[in-house]
Structure 1
Amino acid sequence: MTHVVTEACIKCRYTDCVDVCPVDCFHIGPNFLVIDPDECIDCAVCVAECPAEAIYAEEDLPQDQMDFIRINAELAAEWEVISKSMGALPDADEWKDKPNKRDLLER
């Protein structure tokens, strides 16, 4: 099992989760974070740290977010590892609770 970053992270990219990850499984993109499923040890410490509530255990993933399993795996192979937190995107707080951001994901 692994954890998955979902749509709620898009346009926010808070990195609070990165500091608590013991295995550096997060990868950073222009406006989104992903978890490398091959590196994640399923410890779940990142879940409580996410201000956008965007991280789920794979078995708890909402049905409408299932495609993020594939998205996380694909983008983790392309994006750079992030091992220290950095500031969220400038307008993250404005985007945090907005739904339907899938089309805004920058690859």
Structure 2
Amino acid sequence: MEKVEEKGRGGRRRRSWKRKEEEKEEELEEELKEKLKEKLKELEKEEQLEEELKQELELEKELEELNDEELEEKLEEDLEEELEEEQNIYYKNNIIKNEYYILNL
């Protein structure tokens, strides 16, 4: 009878030990799942950043491909417009000065 009792006690101990081991395994699995989820999120962020970088590079290439002549033409037009405005201001100031001079005669 003693042997049966010893086996029974050992059986309970083994079952208790097994349960503890199973609980530890479940906890480890949960931790691994969480870590995998975090890694997946990080990878998604990295992919998004890579895509943004690709788009930026494409835009830079497009800018480089723009024809220099077109840029020069646009700059010339802008400069001509500015010069015209300055000339108009100069002429208007002269007209005002002349009118002032005439009025003071």
Same fold (TM over 0.5): no
Higher strand share: 1
Higher relative contact order (CA 8 A, sep 6+): 1
Q: Which has the larger radius of gyration?
A: 2
- Band the TM-score falls in, shorter-chain normalisation: under 0.3
Higher helix share: 2
